[in-house]
Amino acid sequence: MKLRLHFVVDPMGWLCISVVFGIWLYNTFFVPKLVLFPHYNEGHIPWAIVVCYYIASGLCLAALFRASTADPGRLPADPHIPHAEREHWELCNKCNLMRPKRSHHCSRCGHCVRRMDHHCPWINNCVGEDNHWLFLQLCFYAQVLSLFTLVLDFCQYYYFQPLTGLDQEKFTTRHELALLRISALMGVVMFGGMSSLFYTQMTGILSDMTTIEKMAHFSNETYGAKRSWQWALAEVCGTRWKLLWLIPLRSRQPLNASHQFRSHV
């Protein structure tokens, strides 16, 4: 597996991704320390809940790292254009380079990206043909982790049994309510924002329309007939194996759209 790293030099993007990472770090540290480990040590919850929380947290971080560092589909300065596909290429009026149709020039990154959806400051990267599946994973795992966090914060006060072995002098014990309120607020904001973003991304994928094309009021009939949801997601994720759609630590291989979709899972 060969993973190429792609970094965008943008101080504002660095600030935005630092905020996202800070939210992840806060909940990954305080929720297990305040809720999971104390209740597990006293036998109130099974070990599987602790493991599941860390799996969701790890997958969320992996998706964030891969989405922010993966090449979104940057076009080379001197691309090789097959003779049979020349009619599907056009000249960019900003960088004066040839590019496939449905590509877009990102003014923030300074280059053209194949099938660019949008530039996302929260990952400090463009969302394009080669990392759209990673951005979709990030939205999904951020929803899962945020919802998991909200459920645990709620259960801490309304469902779990009271803890008996707490050290009342510890900082986390004395400020538990404030710390969990901050965690719950972050969970509500992240879950609401990521759910809305995930919905818009899924509707765009299923209708074969990027965010830029939606804003420009392009018609999806320009690019071909509507596809099944399985083929649409398989094309974005680069594989027909559905289990691999959820794994961020892999490479993506383009699919041939002329092949008929066959379910393997």
Largest CA distance in the chain: 74
Catalytic (active site) residue 120: yes
One-letter amino acid of 7: F
Show Cβ contacts of residue 169 under 8 Å, excluding neighbours closer than 6 positions.
Answer: none
DSSP track, 144-173: HHHHHHHHHHHHHHHTSPPPSS--TTSHHH
CA distance 250 to 133: 11
The answer to whether the Cα torsion of 168, 172, 175, 179 is positive or negative is: negative
Which is the catalytic residue, given 106, 120, 139, 237?
Answer: 120
Rg of the chain over Cα atoms, rounded to whole angstroms, equals: 22
Active site residues: 120
